[in-house]
Amino acid sequence: MNLFLKGVLIGIGKVLPGISGSILAIRLGVYEKVVASITQFRQNCKENLFYLGVLGSGFVIATILGSKVLLEVFLRYQTILKIFFFLFLLTGLPSLMRKSNCFLITIFSFLLGSLFFFLPAKVGMHFSFFTYFWMGVIEAFSTIIPGLSGTAIYLSLGWYEEILKLFSELMTFPFEKIIPFGLGLGLSAIFLLRVIQILLERYPHLLYSAITGFFLSSLFFIF
């Protein structure tokens, strides 16, 4: 039940602008285990399937329901929720910084992550097969790379409302949206998870230096 609730919390945070689901996963102590469970799945299929299944079911349920609620009523309580997640994430910053050892990488990732804060939001976009494909790519990057806010990127591209609609419509199986989105998400995730696993094994301090910078930049987008 504890693992399921962690998935729910990550899923709720995922649909709020400026909140990084993977930073929440690090804060809740499940990020490295999730990466290892996926990239080394065949080494212990039963245990990894159970772990990913319980955590993932909480995440999926919260993401679908959270997107639907956010579209309808969640905006009334957005400030309270943002304050909660801001304070919750902030308490994990000291531990994140202890795992970092390269200030230059932290500064670079901070500047890179902050870039989307200064880009004007676009409106009136036309959504095609390739748009949903790139939405999937962005979803993979923002889900797997801690601190990179997918919602911030969607907002700057004018895709935020559309991605919320997509999440809320998943139970109705809009295949014309799901197929390209799934392709972009799946192909990018396979590549990124392997890269992250290698970095965790060989260069963990450098990886966490970059994560710290992305995390600090994501604070721009919460409020």
Does residue 67 carry a pLDDT above 70?
no
90/198: higher pLDDT: 198
The confidence band for 176, taking pLDDT boundaries of 50, 70 and 90, is confident
Q: Tokens 């995922």 correspond to what residue?
A: 14
Q: What's the pTM value of the predicted model, to 2 decimals?
A: 0.72
DSSP state of 223: -
- State pLDDT tens for residues 148-170: 777 777 877 778 778 877 877 77
Please tell me the predicted confidence (pLDDT) of residue 119: 65
85/192: higher pLDDT: 192
Residues 67-90, mean pLDDT to the nearest whole number: 69
Does residue 8 carry a pLDDT above 60?
yes
* 171: number of Cβ within 10 Å: 10
Please tell me the predicted confidence (pLDDT) of residue 221: 66
Residues 47-72, mean pLDDT to the nearest whole number: 78
- State pLDDT tens for residues 106-139: 999 888 877 766 666 665 566 788 889 999 998 8
Q: Tokens 């109705």 correspond to what residue?
A: 172
Does residue 100 carry a pLDDT above 90?
no
CB 215 within 8 A of CB 146: yes
- Could you give the percent of the chain with pLDDT greater than 70? 82
- Using left for φ > 0, alpha for ψ between -120 and 50, and beta otherwise, residue 124 falls in left
Q: For residues 221 and 152, what is the distance between their CA atoms, to the nearest angstrom?
A: 7
Please tell me the predicted confidence (pLDDT) of residue 181: 93
Question: What value does the mean pLDDT of the chain take?
Answer: 80
Q: At what angle do helices 150-157 and 160-168 cross, to 10 degrees?
A: 120
Does residue 99 carry a pLDDT above 60?
yes
